[in-house]
Structures are given as structure tokens and as C-alpha cells.
Amino acid sequence: MVKTILLVHGAWGTPECWAHFKSWFEAQGYTVVVPTWPYMDKPAEELRRNPDPRLGKQTIKGLVDHFEAQVRALPTPPILIGHSFGGLIVQMLLDRGLGAAGVAIDSAPPRGILPSMTATRSALPILMAWRGWSRILSMSFGSFSRTFANTLPTHEQQAAYDRHIVPAPGRIYFQAALGVGNAVNFKNPQRAPLLLIAGQEDRTCTVSMARAMLRKHRQAPSRTDLIEFPARSHWIIAEPGWEEVAEKTLAWVKIHSR
């Protein structure tokens, strides 16, 4: 049985976003590895105050290459679990033949999956940012409350925003929107099993996009499943009820990881 899990956080966050999942998986006897993104190995407060200038030039390929190195440094193939942009990274790592299984939670889509109108509206502040392609961008509290944590009360939104949200490279969003560097082979015969998870109230990576990913990935011979959670936002890994998400994730990988 695979006993190592590698967690990949998304844009705007840090490994701290996985705190609940990490502790829970470790309590089940797993070794949990939570690498940071390149140029982001600092406390959240420092990242907000003084982000590394190199972050502005970060690319999707650079992120996937970085996490591939993390995976290959492990003694055995791990279970790969990613959230948001981390979910896209997990899909791309699986496409490279890595991992014993993959779980993409509220995942950003690979090339070939059109964003929904709701997701497009959520991304407009990023895509309309002046010279956003080459800048390090910040997410406003208003955007976070409307598109990331819309199921939480306002005081809980503010606490989560203050604790977790950090700047992100605008370039990766423009690449994703243009289909640059985010392709996978949906028919890949070597891909490990993949579980997609979607929150039905997610306004950033909507459930319709997860269903489209399911249809595409089911062209491969490996198992692909989708679990939808009602009344969950994009903040599904840290909002109340995260335990159910972790439990169903682990139940699935125990059966299907190879």
C-alpha cells in the first residue's frame, strides 16, 4: 500500500493551506510532504510584504518541473493531491507518468477545457490587470470573499484571508487562459488513476468544468472518477466539512492507487 502523500497547494496560498489535511493524513499513518512553490519559501507575512521578484516570471512548466523534482526525490511514487492550480499541476504530473494516483480538488483546467462564465468573471481582475503577464499580483479581500470562500461568514472569510492569502504570478493565469504550457494527453495509456473533486458552490473552478475534465480524462484506460460536494466553495480544503473531503479522498486512493 502507498503510504506517502505529496500535497500541492494552489496560487494565492502556501503549504499552510493544507494544515488540516496534513495532520489528518498523518494521523492515519501516512508520510505527508508539502513542498512550497519556487521562490515562496517564506512566511505568508513576508511573501505579502516582500515577494521574490523572480515569482513574476514563473511559468506553468516551471511549476510542474519543480514538483516533478520533488516527486522523483521520494523513495517510492506518492499519492499526488492538488488544490486549484495545484490540481492542474497534479494532472500534468500524472501525464508525465508520475504518482501512484492523483486527486485534483477544485482544479484549474488543462488545455481543452473551456472555463465557465462564472469562472471567467472570477478571473477578470487578474486577466485585466495592467501588464499582469509579467507582474506579481495580489488578490483583494473582495475577490477572495466572492470567488474563493463565498460559503463562509464574513468574519471567517477575513480570518482565512489574513492568514493564508499571498501574491501570485500573473503569468500562469495568462498562460492557462491562452492554453500555453498546460496541455495533457487525455488518452494517455500510462496515466495513474485520477479522482476529481468539485465543490458545487465553487465560483473559481466550477463543477461544470470538473464534469468536462471527467469526460475528457475518461478517454484514457486508467480509472477516472468525480466526487461532488454540495454547499462547498473553492476553499473546500480548509472550510468547515474538510474532514469529509479528506475521508473520501483517502477511501478512494486506498482502493485505486497503483
What's the rounded mean pLDDT across residues 241-254? 98
Counting DSSP H helices and E strands in the chain, the numbers are: 10, 8
Q: What is the pLDDT of residues 91-110, one digit of tens each?
A: 999 999 999 999 999 999 99
Strand-pairing partners, residue 6, are 33, 80
Cα–Cα distance for residue pair 130/125, rounded to 1 Å: 10
d(CA 6, CA 18): 11
Domain borders along the chain are: 4-256
Is pLDDT above 90 for 58? yes
Q: CATH fold of 4-256, please?
A: Rossmann fold (3.40.50)
Pull the grid cell for residue 197.
473533486
User: What is the per-residue pLDDT across 13-51, written as a single tens digit (0 to 9) for each?
Assistant: 999 999 999 999 999 999 999 999 999 999 999 999 999
Tens digits of residue pLDDT in 191-204: 999 999 999 999 99
Helix (H, G, I), strand (E, B), or coil: what is residue 175?
A: helix
Q: What proportion of the chain, given as a percentage, has pLDDT over 90?
A: 95
Which pTM does this prediction carry?
Answer: 0.97
Overall average pLDDT of the 104-131 stretch: 94
Q: What is the CA radius of gyration of the chain?
A: 17
pLDDT greater than 90 at residue 1: no
Report whether 203 contacts 150 (CB < 8 A): yes
Mean pLDDT, the chain, integer: 97
31-33 vs 4-8, strand pairing mode = parallel
Q: pLDDT-based confidence at 2, cuts 50/70/90?
A: confident
Q: What is the pLDDT of residue 165?
A: 97
